[in-house]
C-alpha cells in the first residue's frame, strides 16, 4: 500500500513540475490585461474609483498557487476567503476577499493549440469574466456558494460579452465568438 501511495505522490509531483508557468514577458501581459479588464468592468457597472476599491481581490499565477488550486480545467479559479482589515477608528473587521488563480499551464496550452488565440485578448476575457463574478458576489446579486453554477456562468458570459463587444483589442472578437454558446440570449441579471 505504501508503495502505491508513494508512486501516486511521485506522479503528482512530476505532473506539477511539468506545468509551464508564465514567463516574465507573459506576466507583463497579465498586468496589462488586468488593467484593461478593471477599466472596462468598472465602466460597465458605473463604479467610481472608491466603489471599485471595495471589491477586494488579488491575482495569482501558477508559481504562487497551492497544489489544491491547480486545476485541469478552466483558465482561472476564483477562491473566496476572509481578511482582517483595520478601519480608520482602530476597529478590526473581517471582509470577503477573492483570489483569481490563473491557470498558466492551461492558458499557454490553449495558445499553443489554437494559433488564432492571443494571450492579451484571452487574458482580458478571463479577467473580465472573473471580475464580473466578483462584482456579482460583492453586490449580493449571487451567492458564492450557490449550487446553480451553470446558470451563473451563462449570465456572467453574457455580461462579459456585453462589456467587451466594442473593445478594440486584436483577436478579441475570435474569443467572444468562441464563448458564444456559453451565453444566455439577451441580458439576464
Residue 41 DSSP SS3: helix
- The full length of the chain comes to 189
Write down the pLDDT at residue 154: 85
Percent with pLDDT over 90 in the chain: 52
Residue with the bigger pLDDT between 128 and 189: it is 128
The torsion angles phi and psi of 130, rounded to 5 degrees, stand at -70, -35
The torsion angles phi and psi of 77, rounded to 5 degrees, stand at -120, 130
Contact present, 66 and 24 (Cβ < 8 Å):
no
pLDDT score of 47 more than 60? yes
Cα–Cα distance for residue pair 173/185, rounded to 1 Å: 18
Contact present, 117 and 108 (Cβ < 8 Å):
no
- Please write the tens of the pLDDT for every residue from 59-105: 999 999 999 999 888 999 998 887 766 656 555 566 778 899 999 99
In the predicted model, what is the mean pLDDT of residues 108-129? 96
Cα–Cα distance for residue pair 154/170, rounded to 1 Å: 24
Amino acid at each position: 500500500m505504501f508503495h502505491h501511495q508513494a508512486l501516486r505522490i511521485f506522479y503528482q509531483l512530476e505532473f506539477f513540475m511539468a506545468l509551464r508557468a508564465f514567463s516574465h514577458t507573459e506576466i507583463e501581459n497579465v498586468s496589462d490585461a488586468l488593467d484593461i479588464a478593471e477599466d472596462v468592468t468598472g465602466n460597465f457597472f458605473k463604479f467610481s474609483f472608491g466603489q471599485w476599491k471595495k471589491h477586494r481581490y488579488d491575482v495569482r499565477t501558477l508559481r504562487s498557487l497551492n497544489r489544491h488550486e491547480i486545476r485541469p480545467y478552466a483558465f482561472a479559479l476564483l477562491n473566496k476567503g476572509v481578511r482582517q482589515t483595520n478601519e480608520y477608528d482602530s476597529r478590526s473587521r473581517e471582509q470577503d476577499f477573492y483570489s483569481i488563480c490563473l491557470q498558466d499551464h492551461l492558458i499557454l496550452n490553449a495558445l499553443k493549440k489554437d494559433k488564432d488565440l492571443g494571450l492579451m485578448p484571452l487574458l482580458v476575457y478571463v479577467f473580465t469574466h472573473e471580475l464580473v463574478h466578483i462584482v456579482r458576489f460583492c453586490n449580493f446579486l449571487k451567492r458564492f456558494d450557490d449550487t446553480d453554477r451553470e446558470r451563473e456562468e451563462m449570465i456572467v458570459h453574457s455580461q462579459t460579452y456585453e462589456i467587451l463587444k466594442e473593445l478594440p483589442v486584436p483577436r478579441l472578437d475570435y474569443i467572444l465568438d468562441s464563448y458564444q454558446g456559453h451565453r444566455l440570449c439577451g441580458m439576464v441579471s
